[in-house]
Each structure stands twice: as structure tokens, then as C-alpha cells.
Chains A and B, each alone.
Chain A
């Protein structure tokens, strides 16, 4: 079943966002953002620094509380949920990949422990099974099995990012938030990581919201694209459509600013 077919069979959005607004005092973080995200869909959010993409992502992921608006996940109102439920959701059904792997990993805990943490957090109490799953996931993100007892501080930047992805995906989440997952990596490592992400997203049928300023990343990964400027969404549509035929002046500027090698 291709992605489009899978999207066609589910007509209920997984995540529905309506009129989301977050202010920092008199300043706008993001304003009046609305979109639907369907199962298996990858939504890219692009924009320059300070355009509110990270604010939007942290509001969606529950790290910050928006001032206005509604977020419903799978038919449940996320903002009305108790904190217990929201935190349970964010360590089972949701995942968050930080830009800097050091923010998302426990640097003092071995790679296996990092991957196993989410399993133990949801009640896994069998060491052998936890270790088996951790080994499996390290393999899926192309980390050699003999590195399972090494700490992430002994890993390269690209490996740390892949470890962070394994740690997030081990509980089979349905919705993944990614904040510049390829930021700070050199281009060849970026390419490998993108390749890996694309494979995982396709195989697992993940819904992903990916925030980046790198248009190449969204071109490769995202089905749909949202362009933000000064806290507002100025244009959204299918990725290829937005990138090949930008309508808004800012999007045209953004697309034309990409350096051609």
C-alpha cells in the first residue's frame, strides 16, 4: 500500500490544530495557525529564524501552553487533558527529536539504556526483552550492536542523532515532532540521516511534523509544506507545488535564496 492509498483510507485527521496562538508578552510567537495532519503524512514547517516555527512545535508537543486555539489528537482535546495523560501520550504515542541530540539523550547512560528508557517508562520489566529491542533498534538506525553499552558521549554527532531517533521510535509512536533533525551535521551525514528517516517514515507509516530551515530536507521528506513568517503561516500546500511555484512574496524569496551548487 502506498502512502497515498493509506492516506485515502483514513479520512479522520490524526492531529487537528485550530487557531493556535502563542504570545511572549506583547510579541507574537505564532498566531492563528490551523492545519490538519492525517495518519502517515509528513508536514514540513519552514521559515527563517524567529518566524515562530519552533514556538509552534513546542506548543504542539506540549512543552509550552498556547494562549489561544485548540489541538485535538485522535479526537481528544490535548489542551484539556490532565498532565498525567499528556505526559503518557508524549512518551508512548508521540516522539520528539531535538535538534541537538544532547537535549534528547541521557549522555551518562549507555546507548542501550537510552533506547530502553521509554520501554521501561511504560512498564517493561524484563531485562532480556528490553535489551533485545534496543539491539534491534540500534540495527535499524545503523549503529553496530557492539556499541550498545557505550555512552552517547563516545558517539559521533550523526550517530548521536540516529540514537536519538531510535530512542524515540522504540515505543512505536504514531506522531513524531522533529526540530531541525539534520541541523549541525555535515552534508554527507545529513544525506544518510535523511535516507534513514525517509525509510523509517515509510515503513512505519509515521505522521511527522518537521521544522527546518533547510528546503532540501523538506523536499525529500515532506508531503505538505507550511511557510511561516513573523509568526503567521503565509503559504501552505503540497511540497512540490510550494517549492516549484511559490505564490507568496516571502516564499519566492526563500526559494530563490537557496544556493545552487
Chain B
């Protein structure tokens, strides 16, 4: 990861300049038409589909040498996906990296929006598995395109209707469909619906890349984004009804972590940077008194499962 790449082995940020140019054109078009899915000629990337090939290409097209990159996966900076994509850009672009949301200029994310509010000048790049919000309701791509063109979005509400009919409430808890500037219905990627309000009026640029599906879409700063709902079943955010056990935060999105086979569990912020920032300021939750970082906490599980020693 730190070994020097020979000059000429890669162009800056892996992709060749013509490819980056093509992706930038798609991004600009996406920004000009917020929420519209722009087709682009997605390239093979040195990672499997589903690992963020779309996001990586968008990030590669956005990066400049002065950038400071942060990569998060489900809010965490230290999970496999985040670590490998961060290393990828350290190697191929040589850009500075950070785990602090406030210091980053480009943030590539999978399934979360950071808890710390974003600022103007930052770019948030989402990894998108299925960009078409109507896909599971209408399998024909020709038909979904026509529906976007003609603004025929009644079907999206059929899905929400089915939720209420079956579960008594809108049970869609992630990839919750939104309407952008009163025009396009958009899949916000599988972020929890807890994060949906942060999409709207955000000062940062939000870019969405779907590699396998070859689509890019975007939300320029301060775009109005409304989560779809019914008059008598309004949109509500949801999170686990707990405080973070490490930092005590009451208003952050939580992961549930099973700690033993006796029913023990804890709830921790899914945004590791936010959680550690709070603990550094002296906040502590139910189990956070002993100044364990989430990393050391995670490492404390080593050896619990048989076979992990052999792998190391």
C-alpha cells in the first residue's frame, strides 16, 4: 500500500484520462438534471461488482492530487470494503486519506451518510447496487425509462401501499424512494431511511455511481429531496431505540452488535468517526467508560471463534 508506483504504471487515479473525461461528462449531466440516471460506459475495475465499482469510478473521475479522501462502509472507516478502496486510491492516486469527516474533500460511502453535517466544497460519492427505484415493481428497463420520462410514479406508491397493508406501516427501512426537485423519483442507494432527511438541502455535492448497471446520477448542493409517503402515513425516520453504548449519543444511527451467546448485545454508532470524536471529547455510554476504541473493541473478539487463529 505504501510502496511506490513506478511512474507511468498507472495514470493518476487508475483510470485513463479519456475514461475520466467520459465519466465527468456523465456527472455534469447528472448534476444538470438532478435525480436523472445518466448512462455511462462503466469500466471493468480491479474489484468485483457489488464492491463499489460505480462509486470507485466516480471517485476516480473527481479526485485531484490535492484531495483528501475518506472511505466509509456502513458508516465505518475500518471495514474491509472501506479499507481496500482507501488503499486502492492511496496506491493509484497517492492522495492523502483521512477518517475525519470534517477534513475530507471527497468521501466515498456505502450505505450511510456521515453523522457530522457536510460542508460546501465536499463531494459525497455513493456506491449504488441498483439505481432504478422501480426495478422490482417493473422489470422492463424500456418501461421504467418511459415511466421516468412521463413522470408515471404511481407504482412507487403501490410498493408503499403494500408495506402498510402487510405491516401496518411503511416498512421500507433502507433505499427509501425519494422525489428530487418535484421531478425524478430516485433510489438514494441503500442508506437507512434515517439518513433520508440529510439528502435534502445538503451543501455538499452528492454523486451516485452504479458500476454494473452503468448509471450515474447526482444531487447538486441544496437540492430539495422529498421522501415519498401517504398523507395519513407520513414519512418517519427510524433507528434502534437506544443510546450508543460507547459514546452515549442519542441521535445517531446505531448498529446492533451481538457480544456473546447469552443474549448479550450492544448498540454502537455505525459512524465510527462520529463515535470516536465524541468519546475523545469525553462522552461515554453504558460500556464506553474504559476508553476502548471501536477498533480495540472489535479486536477483543479475536479468538472467540475457532479457526480464526489459523487464518492469521
Contacts and interface: CB of A to CB of B under 8 A. Distances in A.
Given A117-B158, A120-B161, A87 B232 contact: no
Interface string B94-119: 00000000000000000000000000
Contacts of B157: 120, 125
A148 B155 CA distance: 18
B165 to A, nearest CB: 5
B232 A109 contact: no
Given A126-B230, A128-B232, A121 B165 contact: no
B312 interface: no
Interface in A145-161: 148-149
A131 B157 CA distance: 13
Contacts of A131: 165
A113 B152 contact: no
A29 interface: no
Contact of B230 (A106, A110, A122, A125): A125
Contacts of B233: 127
A116 B152 CA distance: 15
Nearest to B154: A121
Contact of A120 (B150, B154, B164, B232): B154
A216 to B, nearest CB: 36
Given A83-B150, A126-B232, A127-B233, A149 B158 contact: no
Contacts of A113: 158, 161-162, 165
A121 B166 contact: no
A211 B189 CA distance: 45
Contact of A106 (B150, B158, B165, B232): B158
Interface in B226-255: 230-233
A116 B161 contact: yes
Contacts of A125: 157, 230-231
A112 B157 CA distance: 13
A117 B155 CA distance: 7
Contact of A122 (B150, B154, B155): B154
Contacts of B137: 106
Interface string A99-122: 000000010011011001111111
B161 A87 contact: no
Nearest to A123: B154
Nearest to A83: B150
B152 A87 contact: yes
Nearest to B228: A125
B299 to A, nearest CB: 45
Given A83-B150, A149-B166, A112 B161 contact: yes
Contact of A127 (B150, B152, B166, B230): B230
Interface in B126-171: 137, 150, 152, 154-155, 157-158, 161-162, 164-166
A117 B154 contact: yes
Contacts of A116: 158, 161
**A-side binding surface: helix, strand, loop or mixed?**
helix
Given A83-B150, A84-B150, A126 B231 contact: yes
Interface residues of A, number: 24
A130 interface: yes
B230 A121 contact: no
B158 A109 contact: yes
Contacts of A112: 161, 165
A48 B201 CA distance: 62
A130 B155 CA distance: 14
A118 B154 contact: yes
A149 B161 CA distance: 11
Tell which of A84, A123, A127, A149 has the most Cβ of chain B within 10 Å: A127
B199 to A, nearest CB: 20
A84 B151 CA distance: 9
Contacts of A127: 161, 164, 230-233
Given A109-B158, A113-B162, A131-B165, 20 more contacts: A84-B150, A106-B137, A109-B162, A110-B162, A110-B165, A110-B166, A113-B158, A113-B161, A117-B154, A117-B155, A120-B154, A120-B155, A126-B230, A126-B231, A127-B161, A127-B230, A127-B232, A130-B161, A148-B165, A149-B165
6 contacts: A84-B150, A110-B162, A120-B157, A125-B230, A131-B165, A149-B165
